[in-house]
Amino acid sequence: MNIIANLGSIINEKNQSTELWQAQRQADRENTNAMQDAGIVQITSDPETYLRYLNCQADNPSYSAGNVALVMVQDQGATVFGTKDRWKSLMRSVSPTEEKNGVKIYTRSSFGKGYVLTDVYDVRQTSGRDLKHTALQPDSKEMTEALKTLLNYCVVPLVSDESIPMPALYDPNQMKMAVNLKYNDAEAFAGIATEIAHVRFHAKGYNQNYSRDDYELDAQSVGYMICRRFGVPCEAPDVSNLAAFYDGFDPQDRRQALGQIQDMAQKIGGSISSGDEDDMQYVASYACFAPADDPEILGMCVIYDPQGIYYGGTIAAPVIGNIFENILPYLGIEKQLEMQYTR
């Protein structure tokens, strides 16, 4: 009897310990999510913080916008950061006195499912081999290859036009991009990077929400991050209307918008770094049903190898929306809400 009683006590203690651990883990996640949301809102509300974010994101291109926001909230002096393993791969190590001073971000679980909170450390908390900094030089083979790779991301016709008052200009009405050959390599790179972003955002007209004014800040931000990554001089984006630009966006929408520009800058920059001129191929999809409370119809749109934006909610959802708007009246289903899509 005593053995059974002791075993029962052990089981109860284990269950209580597990429940406490799960509760603490959930509390940590909730606190981190709240901190991330606060950071995202600050970035998209304050011009100075937004520009600092672009610098930090450009210097840490493989990290998500949400993780960069987390680092910026927890360590305002952070520049280049990474996990212990990342620093090890760069022949650097975290200083023993700094091991307990890491900041939390989300990384994929080693079990391949979900995300876990992980410590990262700023470069000033490490020591070892100097970090390499890429700087494209004018009239160099590297600059020529970079320009070639950059222009391969242009999915509309290219023309030379020395009458335009800038290095490059995308015309969304004619869906073509003009390049002014009078500018030097660095000026051309910076101008083309921004206009390529416009091209990709417009996605050959598939992005029905595109307008040059609405995407100007995003395009300038993409161009700026690419230029910073490769040491090419570039003017900072015009952030004078930042607050109005993000007005009405909740934290999730703001994070998604930042994620789009981060993803595009990372994709293009990654191709330039590797010399890979071929795009990665994506599949955009969106599925929905109606009515929401008693479904009668299910629809799905799949777009293979989309050009430019490849988020299903941006380019595939409007297609399904148009189909449903034509089908639902025949089924006697009245429209209750206007469908809205993220830009």
SS (HEC) of 190-215: HHHHHHHHHHHHHHHHCCCCCCHHHH
Question: Which residue, of 225, 256, 274, is where some domain finishes?
Answer: 274
- Asked whether 167 and 192 are in contact (CB, 8 A), the reply is yes
Cβ–Cβ < 8 Å for 20, 235: no
Residues 195, 262, single domain; the answer is yes
Pairing of strands 103-108, 92-94: unpaired
Would you call 140 helix, strand, or coil by DSSP? coil
- The per-residue pLDDT for 320 is 82
Question: Do 109 and 60 belong together in one domain?
Answer: yes
Q: What is the pLDDT of residue 35?
A: 93
Domain end, chosen from 243, 274, 305, is at 274
> Could you give the C-alpha distances from 240 to 12, 20, 44, 237, in angstroms and in order?
59, 47, 12, 9
Please report whether residue 341 resides in a domain: no
Alpha-carbon distance of 316 to 282, in angstroms, equals: 13
Q: What is the pLDDT of residue 275?
A: 63
Domain that holds residue 233: 141-274
- Of 130, 204, 136, the closest CA to residue 170 belongs to 204
Residue 317: closest CA among 278, 275, 270, 285: 285
Which letter, b or e, does each residue of 314-334 get, where b requires 16 or more Cβ atoms within 10 Å of its Cβ?
bbbbbbbbeebeeebeeeeee
> pLDDT in tens for each of the 343 residues of the chain?
455 568 878 888 888 777 777 777 777 788 899 999 999 999 999 999 999 999 999 999 999 999 999 999 999 999 999 999 999 999 999 999 999 999 999 998 877 677 889 999 999 999 999 998 889 999 999 999 999 999 999 999 999 999 999 999 999 999 999 999 999 999 999 999 999 999 999 999 999 999 999 999 999 999 999 999 999 999 999 999 999 999 999 999 999 999 999 999 999 999 998 764 344 445 678 888 877 777 878 888 888 666 555 667 777 788 888 888 888 887 777 765 554 444 4
State the pLDDT at residue 318. Answer: 83
Instruction: Please answer whether residues 120 and 83 qualify as being in contact, where contact means their C-beta atoms are separated by less than 8 angstroms.
Output: yes
Task: Specify if 133 maps to a domain.
Answer: no
pLDDT at 336: 59
Antiparallel, parallel or unpaired: β 158-160 and 176-179? parallel
174-181 long-range CB contacts below 8 Å, 24 or more apart? 175/202, 175/204, 175/205
With a CB cutoff of 8 Å and minimum separation 6, the contacts of 103 are 70, 71, 74, 75, 78, 81, 119, 120, 121
Same domain, 28 and 73: yes
- Looking at the DSSP bridge assignments, the partners of residue 119 are 104
Do 263 and 164 lie in one domain? The reply is yes
How far from the centroid of its chain's Cα atoms is residue 139's Cα? 31
Does residue 342 sit within a domain?
no
* 270/287 same-domain check: no
- Residue 338 within any structural domain of the chain: no
Q: State whether 315 and 266 are in the same domain.
A: no
* b/e per residue 171-208 (b: at least 16 CB within 10 A): bbeeebbbbbeebebbbbbbbbbbbbbbbbbbbeebbe
Q: Is the pTM of this model over 0.85?
A: no
Instruction: Flag whether 249 is in a domain.
Output: yes
How many domains are there within the chain? Answer: 3
Alpha-carbon distance of 39 to 49, in angstroms, equals 9
Helix (H, G, I), strand (E, B) or coil at 274: helix
Domain boundary among 128, 162, 180: 128
* Contact present, 134 and 229 (Cβ < 8 Å): yes
Task: Clarify whether residues 303 and 182 are in a common domain.
Answer: no
- Residue 112's pLDDT is what? 63
DSSP states of 210-261 as a string? --HHHHHHHHHHHHHHHHHHTT---PPP--TTHHHHTTT--HHHHHHHHHHH
Beta bridge partners of 299: 288
Q: How far apart are CA 309 and CA 124, in angstroms?
A: 36
The pLDDT of residue 80: 96
